Structure formats: structure tokens, C-alpha cells
Structure 1
Amino acid sequence: MVSTEYKHHTPVVNIDDDGALRLKARRIGIVGAGPAGLAAAREFIEENLNARERAHGNSSTEFTDSSQRLPFTSITLFERSNDVGGVWNYTPDAKCHYNLPQDNAAHAIRQNYDERSLTTGGFPTPLYENLHTNLPKDVMQYSDFEFPEHLPDFPDRHAVHKYIHAYADSKVLIHTSLPEFSLCLNTEVIDVAYNTEQNQWICQMRRLDVDAGSDKETYTEAFDALLICTGRVSHPYIPDVPGLEQLKTELSSTKIIHSKEYRRASDFANKYVLIVGGASSGTDISRQLSYTARSVHMSVSDDRIVQKTDTSLTLSPELGAGCNTENPPKRHPRIKRISIENKRVEFTDSTEIPIPDVIIYATGYLSVYPFIRNSIQPLFPALDTPQPLTNGHAVFDLYKYLLYIHNPLLSIFGVPSKIVPFPLFEYQAMFVAQVYQGNVRLPSLMQMKSMWQNIIKEADPYVMGMKQVEYENELLAIVTEAASYTTGNKSIRHSRLDGVSEHWIDRRKHTFELRKKYLGY
């Protein structure tokens, strides 16, 4: 098949005569040093180490012959916080900033608000004091890095924090001496734009560890490919209901927070609390507050379904499980309106309660990437006019839920919901690393668009659940087939990832029962 080169700059974009693409990107930027960013950095670093090994039989040997080039000339990992770990770094104080309501991408734009913890210096995460995992440790762990054997099946946040940092130390940070790898902490990506003339992502960065106004505060870097690994828990989603804004301005006695700010049940002792949302956080917080608050009420979706034996749809605990039997949470449907005049919260079934002391919105998060211009320049401007990347509720036009179809030199990790994150990130990193070496042949622009249209026709297209098994195996099959074609070796396998085991599948399917057995809820 004939292949023609579209641009002579790096990255190299090759188009076959059927429109299929091969990409070669050598300068890699990774935004976010949490579980996804660490998995991605590790994969790209290991591709370079493997190339060194193949060339010289010694992973520490430098490349002196320009014909034996490393796959990636630079791998830069950016983290706006002062440490790696992302969502698993606990901040005792939560200086969250959001609008009321905050129900779309435009609402989530921040204006010069510093959210960093006064205690740790890190940015706020949703971790609360008495948090345990929703998943068994052998299900959630990375493929070749086990949790310590002595830990319980459902570890607490302290144990996961130590685990993530141990993984970072042994798999990523150990390689900081490599000339092509850089870790930039306290560095925030504030603007990203694709330059079609240079075929580069131009990224404006802000150093958060220098004085504001310093000539070293902001700088610009260019990359061939960009990986967004920032997660989905930065921008709280707070749906609008009639009376919410009036409540905020006229009734200061009622405190309104998002679950991202919740830290400990003792903060709500003897309070009358309404929790909006009945998924994992809302249910767990309601359980904890049933032992300290005066009264706990929950407003949950009318169509919320929890099936005890099917965790393909939800990882949420059963409503009421593990609660104080003398003060169980009272369940209500959606809020219809908040009446300041009557000092009542009215629900869609016509029941009502007094306006509480505290309203906790456990309603999830918006999918927002404020540093990415919503109108991203496509790879082929003459052929393509993309819609905005996100409206806050969904990220659009992704090949394999990962590569931005209009410019596959942008990857966004962890978009689907109801996933087991760490393993998913490993498979996504494996796939992207092979795509950006030109080893994986991508479908044409029109084919990828058609695939996406078929996906979004499905019910709950972003909910992955047990489909994660099929997804990971599919990514592995694509990479394996590409490697077999490239090398002529049909038995070639990834060094770590070899498909999802039956044991993992069984444990994942029975997560709900296992958690109830070990944690009691």
C-alpha cells in the first residue's frame, strides 16, 4: 500500500492511500503525575530502555550512533502539585473553589483562585479521612506491582498513598537520571494550542514555586504529542435547581459544599444534613454521618438502580448498608426546588423537609480541561471542522475512548466511568506508546468518526463497567498484531501486559459482595 508523508516536520504524519494514519511523535508531554500520568511515563520510558537494550544489550548505554535513535527524544511529566500521586494525596483542608450552580464547562472556569492546601501545599483532592477503596487490592493494583500482602483486601487511603508513591519511586522516579526524562513539579499547564504550521503542541506553563510576576514564572514548551492525565475530579458538578442561587445569597446559615470538601464526620456533629447524590461518595458519607449528625437525608436519582450481584453498572454501596440503625439516612427523590420563603426543600414526589444546616453535593464532577482551547486545531484543517472537545458532561470524538479523532496527537486518559483505573491506564499507555512510534495503523479520519457515532448511539456510552475487560484485550490485540506485522514475529508479546485473567474478572464481578463481607457495607 502506498504511503505518503503529509508533513516533513516532526511529528511525522503518514497517510496511506486508503486514508489510514501512522503517527511518529518523539517529544512527549504528559500532563498530570497521578496514577494515569505515572503509568504513561513508565510506558514511554520503558520503550526507550528497551530500545537501548536491543541496541547495546545494556539499558544504561547512551546512543552515540544517530542511526540508532531512541523512540522518544524527550518525555516530560508535568504536575501542578508539589508531589506525584494525584488524587491519592490527602489534603486535610479543602480550599475548593466552584460556582453555585456549576453545571457546564463555562461555569467551571476559575478566576485567579489559589486552591492549594495551607497544610500540605497540594491541590485539594476528594479524599476524606476515613476512606477505604471501593475495589479489592488485587483488582485495583498495577499489573506487576502488588500491594503489600499484609494489607486488608480493601485498604484505606493511607495504604494506597504509600502504594502509589512506591510505584512512582520504583517504576518512574528511578529513571530521572535519563537525559530524555524530566519531572516538573509545581508546574501548571495554563494553555495548550496546536500549531498546524509546525505540527506541534505549544504549551504555556506556569511555575507555582516562584514569585508571581517573576520572569521565570511562565514559559513555553513544544511537544509532538500530548497526553492529558489530569483525571476527572477537579471541577465539581453542582446541578441547578430553582432557589439554589437565592439560598446561597439570602440564607447564610445553610452551608453548601461539594463532597470534594468533606473530610470527617465529626465536622457535622448534631447537624441536619441533606446529601444530594447516591453514588459511591454520597452513600459512604451518608453512612458516616448517620453516626454523628442529628439527621441525614439523601436526594437520589429517581432511576438509580443498585443490583447486589452486578457491579458492571455500579461500585456504589447499597443504600443504608453499614449505617447507624438508630439514625439511618432518609431517602428522597430529586430536588424540585428550594423555597426560601417557606424555608423548605421540596422533592419531585411532593414531599419536603426543612432547609438543612448543611447541603452536601455528592453529584460528581465535570469533564473539563481548562488549559485546552475548546476549539482545537484539527490535524487536517482543510478536511475537518471539529465540535468542541467537551461540554462539561462528556468528552467528544475519541478513538478507543482515548485518541482525539480530529488530532490523534492528543490523548485523554480515563474518560470512561465505572472503571478500574490503574489497569486501564496501563493498557491505554501501552496503546498510545505504540501509536506514537508509528507501529499502530489508525483508521482514516472518516472511519474513526463513524466508529464514534456508533458508540454514542449506545445506552450510557461512557459507562464501561465489565466492558473494560473487552476494551483492554482489544487494545492489546491491536498492539500485538501491529508488532507481529512490524517484526515478523507472530509470538511477540508485551513485556508486562498479557490480557485480563479469569481470576481478575471473577474478583471484579463480585466486588460488591467482597466489600460487604470485609467492610460491612
Structure 2
Amino acid sequence: MGSIDVNTISLRARTIAIIGAGPSGLVAAKYLRAEKAFDRIVLFEQRNRSGGIWNYTKDQRDEDLFTIPQTDPRGKNQDPTWLPSQRTKDGEKTGDRKEPSFLSPIYDRLETNIPRGLMGFQDLDWPQDAQLFPKHSTVLKYIQDYGADVQDLIHYETQVLNVSPSDDAISGRWNVLTRDLRSNARWNVLTRDLRSNARKEECYDAVIVANGHFIVPYLPEIAGIEAWNARHPGLISHAKYYRAPEDFTGKKVVVVGNSASGSDISTQIAQFSQRPLLWSSKSSSMFNVSASPVKRELPPIAKFLVETRGVEFEDETVEEGIDAVVFATGYFYSLPFLEGVRPGVIGDGGRVQYTYQHLFYAPRPTLSFLALPQRVIPFPIAEAQSAVLARVYAGRLNLPPLHDMQRWERNVIEEMGDGRDFHLLPFSKDGNYINELSHWAMSAEPREGLVNEGKGKIPPVWGAWEFWCRENFPKIRAAFGALGEKRFTVRTLEEVGFIYSDAMKARAKQEGKLI
């Protein structure tokens, strides 16, 4: 598929497919429905409930997506593992029914690294008894409560196999091939509960990809790693497969990576492993606000030493007798159902190519992506993005010409590079991005019949408090974690010593920030 000038494509959509009923997909459905402009909105979700990766999976089963090293971004449409139902009715299990399960990176003791007041959706409050940094089970219920009013749009246990442009290039439409997972399940043959039409292809005016990017792990190629793994199998893993720190009791452990998961996982493991835990990273961590007596910070691993089960770091430090190496090195962007799209959206997996505003596929913008940015507060970003998408596809906003969208991408490459940093929006870029998109969305012409005097559903706009909280949340999180078991009773920022004062408000006004 060659590039087509955006002005020749009809962006006015009647039917829209959303891939993924995690938080971003649910947000998109709500903003699209609020436009009252679409004949059909469908969410395809391969799990049997909403919430995406926040659906915790206890097991650590092997995946054929993971090799050592893991440098290939090309994933696959995975088959589910069918597990006994966890749903109950009046306290009793619902018979022998099984459910499709896809491995989630959520681990046993995960708590958010973002305070709930900053993390949430603007039109749903968190439960008043939720701790300041909620547990993953609290987040899942919160997401599912948020999406309760769009459940009628969701096709569960339905996996998207392929998305390809329709023959009519000018229309910008897409053929979406799906499969009904339950009809494909082998165990279903035994219960004689088969349904026909396991695979189905339908055409949509627009497709929104909201399936996240926590599927295919990235594990870098380092000198000696393959031979080391062959000699000492099972000792190298990835944060996706981490579940509990007790698994590392008494072991000599290296954790590689210092973003949110690397910081949290290393802290948890260090309570049970040999001390100090060896924490390897390229740079200082925004989550490491003070030195830890149970962790030793080291530079990246230069090579693996097979004979001594050791590693040598870039500063020539050598550690031998290593029992476990956990790579918290992130994930590839991997979209196997888009492999036939040209120009290709996935190159080396470090980013999604040919995007405009981290959102639209510029060559054919009836394809779009939610929540590609990283180092961000994801829920409000998904809201701001969805507000723009809904208004564009409803015909209330226009996109710039293709050459302008391509210029935007070139400018980002010039600033951030053409690799894994492309979608990074560290503070304060993320807040500015939210506000820019929200203001763009609100510039749409009002339409009779819509809420808010015809303006439609209003996206979030960050003011001075949000910027202050975003800037300080690593320190807030550290203070929260330092409370140990007492943190479970903490509900407010003030309880951990962070108070947004009148002086801060006054300074924010002088700096021109919104209140």
C-alpha cells in the first residue's frame, strides 16, 4: 500500500473497530459513543473480560515469544491457555466452564507507581478506601467499573488475526479478520458446544489499535549470553514472567533495568535474595530517590562469563556464581495483525513508524493507535487521544496534509532519534501533550444534540496541581513505600508529607499554568 494524500481519504466514519478492551479501548468506546455519529462501534477483546493486562495471571508458563536474547519484534497471534473459570455466582464456582487466558506482566505484589488522584479517569472517582498507590486488583475493578456502560459493544473471546486495507483505497476502509476463540477451543469438541463461523472478515471505516505493548519482551544481545544460557538454563528471565520475590530466596540476583518495573522488582527481590542485590542499568533511575543499603548499583553488563556462572559489568566489576538474572528491559512494539500493512508500521520494534502525534497512521489515518507513548500517565493520555480520534472520525476535526504529518515525524526523529526513545514523553512533555490534544479536540465545531452545549465529551486538561504531582510522584512513591505495611492505610498525599500549597498555586499562576 503506497502513501495516499490524507485529503483524498474520507475520514468520516460510520463503522469503527477497536482492538482491545483494556483501559484505552474502553476510553475510545466512550468518546466515540458520545459523538452520536457512528452506526456501529465494536471492541474486539481476546480475553473474556475487560481490563487488558490488569487481568492478573498467577502462573508463569513458558511462552514461545521469549528467546535469549530476544531481539525480534515480530510476535504472533497467540493461542490462549484454557483455565478453569474463576468467576463465581453467590460464592460458588460456575461449573466446569473454562476461560481463555493470556499471560499478563502483572505480578503478585504490584502496586501502581502513580498516585490514584493523578492516574484516574476524570469522570470516575477511585473508591474512598483505596490506598494512595492502588493494588493491581483495585485498578482492575476500577477499569471494569469505568467500562460498564460500553459492555454491549464488546465482542469477548474474539481475536483479531489480520487488518488489511480494503480494495477501495480512496475510502480508507479496512478489512478486519477475527476468530472466535471458543469455537476454536479443542476442549469444546468434547462438550459438543461448537459454534459455526469461527473466522469472520468484516469491513470498517476506521480501526483503532488499543492492545498495548506489553506482549513481546525485549532482551538485549550481550556477549556470551547465548552460551551462558545454554550452560545454565532457566537462570535468565524477564520481568514479564516475574511473580513473587520469594522465588529468589537466598539467591545471588542481578536485575537489569531501572524503570518502574526494574526499580520495584529489584526492591522486592532484595528483601529475600543475597545482599546486596546487583542492580544494573545504563543511567540513574527517576524512581531511585535515595541509595538503598540492600542494592548495589552497577553499570550495564558487558559480557557473560560461562565457566564461572558470572557476569562482567562495563566498569570491569566481575561477579561470579550468579543464580538469577532478571531483565526489566521493556518490550517491543509488536503488532502481528498489521504485518501486511505497507509502509510497515513495525521496523526493529523500537517504535511504531509513520505516526502523527503518536496517534494516527499518517499514510492512511483511518488507522490509529492509542497509548503508544511511554514514561507517561496513561489513562488521561488515552482520554485526550480518544477525544481527538472521536472528533476526527465524526467529521468535526480535520487533519493536516500528509506532508505536514510527515514533517512532524521527522522533527521527533531529529529530537529523540529513530529508535526506542521516539515515543518517550518524560515530564513535562506528557502533561503538555495531554493539554495540546485536549485543546485540539475542544476546537471542534459544536454539534447539535451533543452534551456540554454541543461540544461533546470533554477531555482532561492538566492544571498546576497535576503538573506538580506528576513532577513529584517518584518522591511521593518512595515516601509511600518507606512506610512498609503502614502504607496500606494511606489514602492521601498529605499523609506522606506532600502538600500542595497556596504559594505553589500563586507560582503556577505566574508561570502561566492552568489551575
Distance 1:421 1:444 in 2: 28
- Amino acid corresponding to residue 67 of structure 2 in structure 1: N
> 1:462: Cα distance to partner?
2.0
Query: Residue 437 of structure 1: which of 391, 394, 399 is its match?
Result: 394
* Aligned partners of 1:34 and 1:84 also within 8 Å: yes
* Aligned partners of 2:26 and 2:150 also within 8 Å: yes
Query: Residue 103 of structure 1: which of 71, 74, 86 is its match?
Result: 71
Partner of 1:472: 434
Distance 1:118 1:363 in 2: 32
Partner of 2:341: 376
Distance 2:33 2:272 in 1: 48
- Amino acid corresponding to residue 204 of structure 1 in structure 2: L
In the TM superposition, 1:298-313 aligns within 5 A as 298-302=278-282, 304-306=283-285
- SS state of the match for residue 132, structure 1? coil
Partner of 2:150: 172
Partner of 2:157: 186
* Aligned partners of 1:226 and 1:409 also within 8 Å: yes
Partner of 1:518: 480
Residues 1:351 and 2:317 aligned together: yes
- SS state of the match for residue 193, structure 1? strand
- SS state of the match for residue 407, structure 2? helix
1:289 to 1:498, Cα distance in 2 relative to 1, 3 A: closer
> 1:485: Cα distance to partner?
10
1:446 to 1:82, Cα distance in 2 relative to 1, 3 A: same
Partner of 1:33: 21
1:452 to 1:408, Cα distance in 2 relative to 1, 3 A: same
In the TM superposition, what whole-angstrom CA distance separates every residue of 1:472-512 from its partner, at most 9, and x where no partner exists?
A: 2222222222315999xx98644332522222222212212
Distance 2:180 2:52 in 1: 18
In the TM superposition, what whole-angstrom CA distance separates every residue of 1:114-147 from its partner, at most 9, and x where no partner exists?
A: 4566776421111111111111101000011010
Partner of 2:266: 286
Distance 2:83 2:357 in 1: 36
1:331 to 1:118, Cα distance in 2 relative to 1, 3 A: farther
* Aligned partners of 2:258 and 2:284 also within 8 Å: no
* Aligned partners of 1:28 and 1:76 also within 8 Å: yes
- Amino acid corresponding to residue 123 of structure 1 in structure 2: F
Residues 1:143 and 2:122 aligned together: yes
* Aligned partners of 2:380 and 2:460 also within 8 Å: no
Distance 1:184 1:129 in 2: 28
Residues 1:235 and 2:201 aligned together: no
Partner of 2:232: 251
Percent of aligned pairs with the same amino acid: 29
- Amino acid corresponding to residue 323 of structure 2 in structure 1: D
- SS state of the match for residue 219, structure 2? coil
In the TM superposition, what whole-angstrom CA distance separates every residue of 1:367-398 from its partner, at most 9, and x where no partner exists?
A: 1111112x524xxxxxxxx3544421111121
Partner of 2:92: none
* Aligned partners of 1:22 and 1:439 also within 8 Å: no
TM-score by length of 2: 0.81
1:498 to 1:483, Cα distance in 2 relative to 1, 3 A: farther
* Aligned partners of 1:80 and 1:188 also within 8 Å: yes
> 1:163: Cα distance to partner?
1.0
Distance 1:117 1:263 in 2: 18
- Amino acid corresponding to residue 324 of structure 2 in structure 1: V
TM-score by length of 1: 0.80
* Aligned partners of 1:368 and 1:390 also within 8 Å: no
Distance 1:117 1:457 in 2: 47
In the TM superposition, 1:114-513 aligns within 5 A as 114=80, 121-169=100-148, 171-173=149-151, 176=152, 182-197=153-168, 199=171, 200-212=173-185, 215-252=196-233, 254-295=234-275, 297-302=277-282, 304-306=283-285, 314=286, 316-318=287-289, 320-321=291-292, 325=293, 328-373=294-339, 375-377=340-342, 386=343, 388-459=345-416, 460-465=421-426, 466-483=428-445, 493-497=455-459, 499-513=461-475
In the TM superposition, what whole-angstrom CA distance separates every residue of 1:92-117 from its partner, at most 9, and x where no partner exists?
A: 113252122112324x447x664566
- Amino acid corresponding to residue 40 of structure 1 in structure 2: A
- SS state of the match for residue 315, structure 2? coil
- Amino acid corresponding to residue 33 of structure 2 in structure 1: I
> 1:271: Cα distance to partner?
1.8
- Amino acid corresponding to residue 126 of structure 1 in structure 2: P
Distance 2:58 2:15 in 1: 37
* Aligned partners of 1:297 and 1:332 also within 8 Å: no
- Amino acid corresponding to residue 472 of structure 2 in structure 1: H
Across the aligned residues of Structure 1 and Structure 2, the Cα RMSD in angstroms comes to 2.7
- Amino acid corresponding to residue 424 of structure 2 in structure 1: V
- Amino acid corresponding to residue 45 of structure 1 in structure 2: R
Distance 1:496 1:480 in 2: 7
> 1:30: Cα distance to partner?
0.3
* Aligned partners of 2:70 and 2:220 also within 8 Å: yes
- SS state of the match for residue 459, structure 2? coil
- Select the structure that is richer in helix: 2
Corresponding pairs, count: 449
> 1:233: Cα distance to partner?
0.7
- SS state of the match for residue 164, structure 1? helix
Partner of 1:381: none
Distance 2:401 2:185 in 1: 45
